[in-house]
Amino acid sequence: MNALTVFSLAVVAVCSGAQLPWFPGMYGAYPGLHPWYRSGMPLMPQPTMKAMAPGPMAYNMAPFAAMAPIYSQYGAQNEFGQYSFGYNAGLSARNEMRDAFGNVRGSYNYLDTDGKVQTQHYVADALGYRVSGTNLPEAPAPATPQYTPEVAAARAAHQAAHNEASAATSAAPTTP
């Protein structure tokens, strides 16, 4: 067995130790490491309840901090001209990829001033640049044409003549 295989197996064995169900965690197996264990304090502040006259109960709880958004980014490229990159910055995100034929596809989103998430998808390929999104204006629906009575009568007469000609053509015998 070569050294790279042995090293890879050792890394997998070490990393998988934290995923075992009986693994008590970093501080669980060694109570002397963390100062809270030595002092006998609980790990998290416990809420206390005050005795009051009959009525609504009040709890004194420690304030909690809002969770911070997850920030991440990635990027990759190869010798064929293919690439992909992206990021997630909490209130905005973007990803884009290019294949070996030069086609580019991507999307991005952000939080606008009204508090709505706006998303755009785009494609750049042989057909050109196309985009679709949640904040793009939409054209009004085309209105149906309103014909004057003269034009409507002429259209009806033309359609009747067309129907007669079609019926005559289909009823005529075909000669070889």
| pLDDT band, residue 83 (cuts 50/70/90) | very high
Classify residue 10: in a domain, yes or no.
no
Which contiguous run of DSSP H or E holds residue 16? helix 3-16
Position 105 in a domain: yes
**104 occurs within a structural domain:** yes
> To the nearest 5 percent, what fractions of the chain are helix, strand and coil?
25, 25, 45
| Mean pLDDT of the 36-46 span | 50
What is the domain range of residue 99? Answer: 71-133
- Of the listed ranges 16-25, 45-54, 98-107, the least confidently predicted one is 16-25
Q: Is the predicted pLDDT of residue 120 greater than 80, yes or no? A: yes
What local confidence, expressed as pLDDT, does residue 102 receive? 93
Instruction: Name the percent of the chain lying above pLDDT 90.
Output: 40
Determine, yes or no, domain membership for 2. no
Q: Is residue 140, in this structure, part of any structural domain at all?
A: no
Q: Would you say residue 153 has pLDDT above 80? A: yes
Instruction: Evaluate whether residue 56 is within a structural domain.
Output: no
Mean pLDDT of the chain: 76
Question: What size, in residues, is the chain?
Answer: 176
Secondary structure (3-state) at 61: coil
- Domain presence at residue 32: no
Determine, yes or no, domain membership for 98: yes
CA-wise closest residue to 96 among 106, 88, 87: 106
- Choice between 54 and 108, residue whose per-residue pLDDT is larger: 108
Domain count, the chain: 1
CB 110 within 8 A of CB 117: yes
Q: In what order do the strands lie in the sheet containing 71-77?
A: 71-77, 83-89, 92-98, 104-111, 117-125, 128-133
* pTM for this predicted structure: 0.43
